[in-house]
Amino acid sequence: MATDTPRRRTHSYLSGLLLVVGVLHLVAPKLFDGIVPPKLPGNPRTYTYASGVAELGVATALVVPRTRRVGGWLAAALFVAVFPANIQMAVDVVGNPKAPGLFKAGVLARLPLQIPMIVAALRVARR
């Protein structure tokens, strides 16, 4: 039997992250509505709820051994799909003279962190 190493638990970390963020999208959607890029058609709340449901679905797929590989592919795709919202948030925060400098730095630092999340999801998909 394989040893339970941090690398082997990657699916658990990703699932936990997606579960928390997915629930937040559904219980506190206003927090996320503002980062939906304004160029997208329709109501931002629809995107907020849809991404929350997608995050919960992908989290579930990552937990279930039978669907874990598919969950890895879906997680990678989801992380790519929500990246425009992360960019929108960075643009909005950096352009806001009232936003604290530390918050601006954190929002900017978050952008490249999407890459290791995508890589981790792809590792789960390829196991």
Per-residue pLDDT at 4: 60
What are the residue boundaries of the structural domains of the chain, listed by start?
Answer: 10-126
- To the question of pTM greater than 0.75 for the whole model, the response is yes
State the chain's mean pLDDT as an integer.
93
Tens of pLDDT, residues 38-79: 999 999 999 999 999 999 999 999 999 999 999 999 999 999
Per-residue pLDDT at 7: 57
Taking each helix axis from N to C end, the angle separating 83-94 and 68-81, rounded to the nearest 10 degrees, works out to 30
Both tokens of 120, joined, read 């981790």
- Phi and psi at residue 58, to the nearest 5°: -70, -40
Evaluate if residue 98 carries a pLDDT over 90: yes
- Phi and psi at residue 49, to the nearest 5°: -65, -40
